[in-house]
Structures are given as C-alpha cells and as structure tokens.
C-alpha cells in the first residue's frame, strides 16, 4: 500500500471553493481504486494550510489512476474548480508507507 499526502496552501477567502474541489477528488479517488482518508481543513492556527491523504494498493495502481489526469472529463472538471477559483495557491505531494496495526 502507498499513501499520498498532499499539503496545500490555500486561499482562506476561497474555502468554499476548496471544499467543492476536495469533495470531487474524494469521489474520484474512491471510484478509481483508491481509498480517500479525507481532507483536513483549517480549524485553529494557520488558516491557509490543508491536507489530503489517500491510499492505493500499490504504486502501479496509483499510476493507473494518474493516467486519467487531463484526459478523463471528470478529472478535468475537478481541476477546473481549482484553476478557475484560485483556491489552491500551492501544493506539495509526497508518498508514504503506512505502518498499520
């Protein structure tokens, strides 16, 4: 299993747009073989940080999912929310291996 951790810097004035963007990606990850663990949005402290965590059974399964970016109409529509609203200022993606009980 591989878990993708996405760290976002978001525009706090556009949190509603970010939430719409996040809901779409939760659905897409789950529909295409992954397990989305959720988005974690600002509550206290920094108002411009957010996280997303989702897992795929393998790096190969993740790569199959990534092949849909820019091609599948639902993926394009989800990215359009981010791009047109400007809700995401920057993001960084890393991969981790979970240690589970």
Higher pLDDT: 43 or 9? It is: 9
Q: What is the pLDDT of residue 6?
A: 97
Rounded to an integer, the average pLDDT of 51-67 is 95
Residue 68 has pLDDT above 80, yes or no: yes
Q: Would you list the domain boundaries of the chain? A: 2-91
Residue 41 has pLDDT above 90, yes or no: yes
d(CA 95, CA 62): 11
pTM of the model: 0.89
Assign domain 2-91 to its CATH architecture: 2-Layer Sandwich (3.30)
Q: What is the DSSP string of 39-69?
A: EE---SS-SSEEEEEEEESSHHHHHHHHTTT
- Copy the structure tokens of residue 50: 């957010």
Mean predicted lDDT score pLDDT of the chain: 94
């Amino acid at each position: 299993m591989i878990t993708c951790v996405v760290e976002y810097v978001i525009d706090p004035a556009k949190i509603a747009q970010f939430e719409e963007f996040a809901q779409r990606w939760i659905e897409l990850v789950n529909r295409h073989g992954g397990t989305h663990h959720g988005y974690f949005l600002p509550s206290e402290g920094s108002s411009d940080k957010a996280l997303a965590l989702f897992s795929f059974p393998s790096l190969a399964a993740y790569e199959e999912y990534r092949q849909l970016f820019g091609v599948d109409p639902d993926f394009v529509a989800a990215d359009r929310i981010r791009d047109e609203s400007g809700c995401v200022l920057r993001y960084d993606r890393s991969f981790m291996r979970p240690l589970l009980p």
